[in-house]
Structure 1
Amino acid sequence: MTSSYERQPGLARLLLLTAILFVGYLCVAIPLPSVPVYVTATLGLDNAWAGLAVGVAFFATILTRGRAGAFTDHHGAKAAVWRGLSLYAAGSLIALVAGAWSSQPWLAYGVLLLGRLVLGLGESLVGVGVISWGVGMVGPAQSGKVLALVGAAIYGALAIGGPIGLLVLDHAGFTGAMLLSAVLPCLGLIAIWRMHGIAPHPQADRPPLSAVIRRIWMHGMVVCLQGIGFAAIGAFFALYFMHRQWMHAGLGLTAFGTGFVLVRLCLGHLPDRIGGLPIAIGSLVVEAIGQAMIWSAHDPLLALAGAFLTGLGCSMVFPAMGREVVHLVQPHLRGTALGAYSAFQDLAYGLTGPVAGLLADRAGYDSVFLIGSAAALAGLCMAIYLRFRALAAAEASTRPLV
């Protein structure tokens, strides 16, 4: 049995890796509210183009998650994180150039999309690499803890990155915001330079990616449907507040991230203790209520309360379902499975931006959050089905043979 002394170094390294992810992910968080404002207010384009500028990074991530997982399995998690952080910095620098060309809206927009695509490629590698690295540090039995800490870092960055992005946008312009986004991943590169990686599995036999997806797709769809609520807040909450002439437009992601991190820190151990599906079911109920509150809000405090509840609800779905995924595959397929699983969340983020932008143009910003509530309820139905299926399988396995 592993002693507490032996486990502690792994946990300490995991916490350091989590801190590195937090700093690096700020370069993803800072543009989330500032990109739509830049596209609509500075370039003069409509909400659908703003939504596409946000969502295109997630589309790039969707298309490359499988390859990122295979790269992680073959070359190691440290190599994946290193390459991903480098792409973070490159994507932000490309977007910085777009900020300098704002007098030519369509040229600036095209350059911005290129930068967002490169950022999305980086997210593929960083997301899968950090999770695989963390699970390798502490073992699959604590995979729920790893996923909870990773999510706390990501959404903690989102909680402060949104207001930082809008603040820098006000004082230094879009170019200043992108310059800051380019510097932050470089700090992560310096920090991981001397960290020990985990051994890759380059020679192991591997089934095709489609076979892995067939095993985990329903778990991924639950995460996809859950992610629509967060994507709606990330892309349109600030514009929603500005449209209603409410103060503190940048606090939506802060309220969301505060609720998200609070649950991760206090309840992050629960998926490993009682299983992922019960946690996901309760979480999706809370998220649906939070999105409905934003949709029906008549004052900013109620909308911010809805964003906070959405954060509470979204918090544990990814680690809860991810814990189930980790236990469905062999160790040498872990990176591939987590890459495919994460792609479902990216799908939600990629589709929500442009589709919700079109909806906002026609039915108002509040309608976006009604869709988020309905999506959470659909995810709830799928999670309940998986729970009943798991209970039936467990009962069948313990039934005596006649």
Structure 2
Amino acid sequence: NRTLFGVSQAGLVNNLNDGMSWGIFPLFFAVHGVDVNGIGLIKAVYPVTWGLGQLATGYLSDRWGRKGLIVWGMWAQGLALLGIGLGVDAAGLSPLAVGVAGSLLLGLGTAMVYPALLAAVGDVAHPVWRARALSVYRFWRDLGYAVGALSAGLIADAFGLRWAILAVGVLTVLSGLMARQVVRFPQPAE
């Protein structure tokens, strides 16, 4: 099922972002002079934005459909990570401000995809095998935490912290492109 593949790969990459950010962001921002309180703020903005945002995006997913929120949400996350990786050294920008702004966009992107991905599985799975489809999706989605932490660590060790963030950012944009190509949903009910 192409849609379940597209949704599962997006779920994996979405959580890969999270796994990477928990391990890499504190080190990356500390190297750029952000104190522990600032790093805590950067890390808090992401889940707070995601948690509050999904209250609205779940509703929007039911009204507008799933695909646009999934694709644009993945792209927003990817751009957030690229902005963090490249923007932290930009002239005139404080690393703390770049981190907070990037985490805000990362949280918004995650809020867009999180309820839409889960609902998408329910949309395309027949009731007879819906629980099995959800468990397969959740397996791939949750595996993303470990894949993100491990791959980001390997990339950071080999090429540096910035490259771990940039690589995950590029992967996230590509995941959005993949979802755009393979995911097919029925239109939302009126």
Normalization by structure 1: what TM-score? Answer: 0.42
Looking at structure 1, the residues matched to 17 and 148 of structure 2 have their Cα atoms a distance apart, in angstroms, of 9
Aligned length: 179
- 8 Å CA contact 1:281, 1:384 repeated in 2: yes
> Counterpart in 2 of 1:303?
99
Offset of residue 371 of structure 1 = 1.4
The structure 2 residue matched to 1:282, chosen from 72, 79, 87, is 72
Offset of residue 331 of structure 1 = 2.6
Please identify, of 234-243 and 303-312, the stretch whose mean Cα deviation from structure 2 is larger.
234-243
- 8 Å CA contact 1:284, 1:380 repeated in 2: yes
Q: Secondary structure at the match of 1:357?
A: helix
More RCO (CA 8 Å, sep 6+): 2
Task: Map Cα deviations across residues 323-360 of structure 1 (whole Å, 9 max, x no partner).
Answer: 12102223342222111101121222111212211211
- 8 Å CA contact 1:252, 1:304 repeated in 2: yes
The structure 2 residue matched to 1:333, chosen from 103, 126, 129, is 129
CA RMSD of aligned residues (A): 2.2
Does residue 254 in structure 1 map to residue 44 in structure 2?
A: yes
Offset of residue 214 of structure 1 = 7.3
> Counterpart in 2 of 1:155?
none
Looking at structure 2, the residues matched to 317 and 253 of structure 1 have their Cα atoms a distance apart, in angstroms, of 19
Structure 2: gaps (5+ residues): 90-94
> Counterpart in 2 of 1:264?
54
Where in structure 2 are the equivalents of 1:71-220 lying within 5 Å? 216-220=4-8
Larger radius of gyration between Structure 1 and Structure 2:
1
Relative to structure 1, is the Cα distance of residues 281 and 368 closer, same or farther in structure 2, using a 3 angstrom cutoff?
same
Offset of residue 215 of structure 1 = 6.8
- 8 Å CA contact 1:295, 1:370 repeated in 2: yes
> Counterpart in 1 of 2:15?
227
Normalization by structure 2: what TM-score? Answer: 0.84
Does residue 361 in structure 1 map to residue 167 in structure 2?
A: no
Letter in 2 for 1:277: K
Letter in 2 for 1:335: A
The percentage of counterpart residues that share the same residue type is 24
Letter in 2 for 1:343: F
Relative to structure 1, is the Cα distance of residues 215 and 279 closer, same or farther in structure 2, using a 3 angstrom cutoff?
closer
